[in-house]
Structure 1
Amino acid sequence: MQQEPATDAPHRDTPHLRVRQDRGYTVLEFRGEIDIVAATEITARLDDATKGPAPRVVIDLTRIEFFDCSGLRLLYRARGRVLDRGGRLRLVCTHPLTLRILRTTGLSRLLPPQASLDAALGRPEAASGTL
């Protein structure tokens, strides 16, 4: 009996995450409540999107309803993995409370949030949130 090849599970949509390609970037669209349960679901897919040399990733938070420290850990994790691999990470966020959390923690200085996906993907390479 021949075994079927593994499916590409890390790219399947979940209740808290949609993954797609856009203009040479992997877009991770977080959805709903981003808490410890969602983070557990998202981590493997985030790691998959940030593996390999020079990953190009956008994390889109426009469809979130709630964002706690678990979500911050995901952003820090993504940023560290992308920087370690010489890639680019961009963030889209318009949620007022999440923007406040990003400012309070200083993450908005390290990963400046953009108001739309088009704005994030249209930014010059020199201002990509990389060091």
Structure 2
Amino acid sequence: MRHEPVPLTRHVRVYAYRAHTVLEFRGEIDIAAAAEIVPVLDLVTGRPGERILIDLRRVEFFDCSGLRLLHRARTRVLERGGRVHLVCTHPLTLRVFRVTGLTRLLPPHATPDAALAEAEAASGSV
């Protein structure tokens, strides 16, 4: 299957890792960054059966615009029969996830390998 090229932005980097597409968010994820990220996010999450890993380890600030991006990504991926995993280590961002209940929908992991190991164990692939 051919994938369209993903446009470059300063707030999101897209690359492949262990049969997953990684969306690595960077810097301050606010309303201005979200406007830049949405077209990339929609392109990547619009593919049927896509396996997505969202990596927030390079994020310095994360507000409700970032929460909307994560919800949008999760919804679009699940609607198309895919899977989505989250990597996040920033204590304040993790606190926002716990307070809003996002951790129940999208459990955060410390590393990409930890997220994918749990996914493989849950699917019985290990």
Correspondence 1:71 to 2:66? yes
**Are the counterparts in 2 of residues 12 and 18 from structure 1 also a CA contact under 8 Å?**
no
Identity %: 65
Shift of residue 122, structure 1, vs aligned partner? 2.1
Cα distance between partner residues in 1 of 2:7 and 2:112: 20
Q: Which moved more, 1:75-84 or 1:44-53?
A: 44-53
Cα distance between partner residues in 2 of 1:28 and 1:63: 11
1:124 partner SS: helix
The amino acid of 2:65's aligned partner reads S
Cα distance between partner residues in 2 of 1:22 and 1:108: 23
Which runs of structure 2 are paired with 1:36-75 in the superposition (5 Å)?
A: 36-75=31-70
Q: 1:94 aligns with which of 89, 95, 100?
A: 89
2:48 partner SS: coil
Residues matched between the structures, number: 120
Normalising by structure 2, we get a TM-score of 0.89
Q: Which has the larger radius of gyration?
A: 1
Identify the residue that residue 104 of structure 1 maps to in structure 2.
Answer: 99
Identify the residue that residue 18 of structure 2 maps to in structure 1.
Answer: 23
Which runs of structure 2 are paired with 1:6-17 in the superposition (5 Å)?
A: 8=5, 11-17=6-12
